[in-house]
Structure 1
Amino acid sequence: MENVNKKLFLENQMNSNMPKERKIKSNIAKIKRDKVLYFMIIPTLIYFIIFRVWPIINMRLAFFTFKTKGPWVFEGFKYFKMIFDTPVFFEILRNTLIISFMKYVLLFPLFVIFAILLNEIRSRGFRKYVQVISYLPHFLSWVVIAGIWISVLSPTSGAVNEILGWFGVTPIDFMTSKEHIRWVLFWSEGWRSIGWDSIVYFAAILSISPSLYEAAAIDGASRANVIRYVILPALVVPMVTMFILNLGFFLNAGFDQVLNFTNNSVNSAIDILDTYIYRIGLLNGQYSLATAVGLIKGLFGTALVLITHFVSKRFTGKGVW
């Protein structure tokens, strides 16, 4: 490792002292040498250009009236004023904030707890089995997941209402109840994500030095104390990083999930910004208005990430960068 570091250091020194023309030739030679690796990242670059960079460039549509022919007409902040003058927007924003809080804040500790519990399983074979079973739902589409949950929560033949019936509880139609539908979103998201989102924390636990466990054993620490004083401190950095990054998507309350779980009975309780954008943009053709809502979402997410990062830096010394 030391030899590799020395080699990289010497290459950097040579590059810094090299004339500009020679430096360009040297970089071209490196690209030719590693051309296979560059070809491998081309699909990823194309994806980000089409679905990330190009949409950011066309966020300017929020300030223009879209026309299929002829130049776009500059409208200033007209569409932003329309958004804030619409009472339904604030109801949708409220739904988005509530559902996002449930998913990104209330659900967050469950991923950490699951990773810790996974680490406590002594049998490696059984642990791998639990890991595979918990990861699988992540690879299912929301269409399939919605079908499973609608079937399980059915008031006539669903397993949940069957179990509730054993205790004399009247069957509940979870999918048409405004009181329960948000919790259906919460638990279905948890079921789908708990295995996948716990990978980061489980990897952090596995990277803990064995000497710390040995020192804890010598001191006579109980398993609870090992978790508290050895494992949890090792999870602070990934927890802070993941929490800050998740806040950047705070207004993304889950378009695919909500679209598959919604119906006329509960739509007013789970109608979120993403479904609102879909409705006014793609269905009604109000592209400028939809873009303005999307821009508000993006700016809000960016502000949350920056604020949380600097607050975390101030109090814990840890942040995203």
Structure 2
Amino acid sequence: MSKQLREASGHASSPLMPGSSLVKGDLSKPPKLPKENIWKKAKKQKALILMSFPFVIWLIIFKYIPIGGWVMAFQDYKPQNGLLDQEWVGLKHFKDLFNEPMFYRALENTLGMGILGIIFGTVSAIIFALLLNELRLLHLKKFTQTVSYLPHFVSWVICANIVITMLSQEGIVNNLLMGIGFIDKPIGFMSDPDLFWGIVTISDVWKETGWNAIIYLAAMAGVDQQLYEAAKVDGANRFKQMWHITLPSIRPVIIILLILSIGNLINIGFEKQMLLGNNIVAEKALVIDLYALDYGIGMFRYSFGTAIGIFKSVISIILILICNQFAKKIGEGRVF
């Protein structure tokens, strides 16, 4: 009997043995499923496809077609001529841009206020979301959320007037500081160039913190409640639960939003700077968008303004790619 078993084992290997074909072929690779016809997939998802059509059309019209206007950056564009009936000048406008001292001042201001906005905007939104998430009184939580969202929907024209009024020499801030004896005479907040970046950052944080906290609150709502119960059993207080459970759980969301924010680092707009600025702080208020508006379109230098826009787009793409690779290395996955 044992001889027959030995002979059988010599002629045929077990399908579960490491050297068998089943392990090499069948188990190491999942079976290939037949590819479904693309038209059948589209038919199954026709409702979703129809719903996406308006957005795709909007994207093509307002985002992709205008890219054709980038050719103006390589022309000496004159509005009276056709887009292709222009004098081609190559990289002349880019050379003029990089030789302008005013451009580097605008770039410095843009990066400075952009970095401050990302740091304080992200930190304030996370802290606010953490504190709001800890509120156990539902009515108070809803009221606080509603109040915090409202400034986001208020125009920057109104917000800038509020900030300027509060920070004027007769405003509430100076009166409060003088009332508690912190200062002897009013401070000219809006006439000090060194304070301008801070004023813009604080104003933006006040206006957008509630709105930016929405995504973090949504991420916190998805944290497994059993983790908190286990932490309570181990004796963790509310602060330790936030630090060791809530923050690590929303870390991927924080990384993704940071990547998107850094991608828009150079696209901070010009509304805040234009409305809060004045002739005294004009040097600190000049950002790239305002520079393109004043020294490009405002002076009818359309090709020069287009060159500035291309520079911004290229820098934004580079920043997103760098941050995307960094997120991949630290193990948070990639956005794109």
Q: TM-score if structure 2 supplies the norm length?
A: 0.83
Among 271, 279, 283, the alignment partner of 2:286 is 271
Kindly provide the CA deviation profile for residues 74-99 of structure 1, in whole angstroms up to 9, marking residues without a partner as x.
21111110011111111111111111
Distance 2:332 2:56 in 1: 33
Instruction: Mark the structure with the bigger radius of gyration.
Output: 2
Q: Does 1:63 find its partner at 2:74?
A: yes
Instruction: Indicate the structure with greater helix content.
Output: 1
Equivalent residue runs for 1:189-228 within 5 Å: 189-228=204-243
Q: Secondary structure at the match of 1:180?
A: helix
Q: Does 1:125 find its partner at 2:139?
A: yes
- 1:82–1:28 Cα change, 3 Å: same
Residue aligning to 2:23? none
Q: Does 1:44 find its partner at 2:55?
A: yes
Residue aligning to 1:166? 179
Gaps of 5+ in 1: 1-12
Equivalent residue runs for 1:1-321 within 5 Å: 16-18=35-37, 23=39, 27=42, 31=46, 34=47, 38=50, 41=52, 43-68=54-79, 69-70=81-82, 71-156=85-170, 158-168=171-181, 169=183, 170-321=185-336
Distance 2:58 2:280 in 1: 38
* 2:110–2:266 contact (8 Å) kept in structure 1: yes
Residue aligning to 2:8? none
Kindly provide the CA deviation profile for residues 42-85 of structure 1, in whole angstroms up to 9, marking residues without a partner as x.
55344433432123232222112212314122211111100111
* 1:240–1:318 contact (8 Å) kept in structure 2: no
Aligned residues: 299
Cα drift, residue 29 of structure 1 = 8.8
The AA in structure 2 aligned to 1:185 is: V
Cα drift, residue 140 of structure 1 = 0.8
Q: TM-score if structure 1 supplies the norm length?
A: 0.87
Distance 1:274 1:314 in 2: 33
* 1:240–1:319 contact (8 Å) kept in structure 2: no
- Percent same amino acid at aligned positions? 33
Cα drift, residue 101 of structure 1 = 0.9
Gaps of 5+ in 2: 1-32
The AA in structure 1 aligned to 2:315 is: F
Kindly provide the CA deviation profile for residues 113-145 of structure 1, in whole angstroms up to 9, marking residues without a partner as x.
110011111211111111000000000111111
Distance 1:204 1:214 in 2: 18
Q: Which has the higher mean CA deviation after the structures are superposed, 83-92 or 237-246?
A: 83-92
Kindly provide the CA deviation profile for residues 203-245 of structure 1, in whole angstroms up to 9, marking residues without a partner as x.
1111111111111111111212111111011111000000000
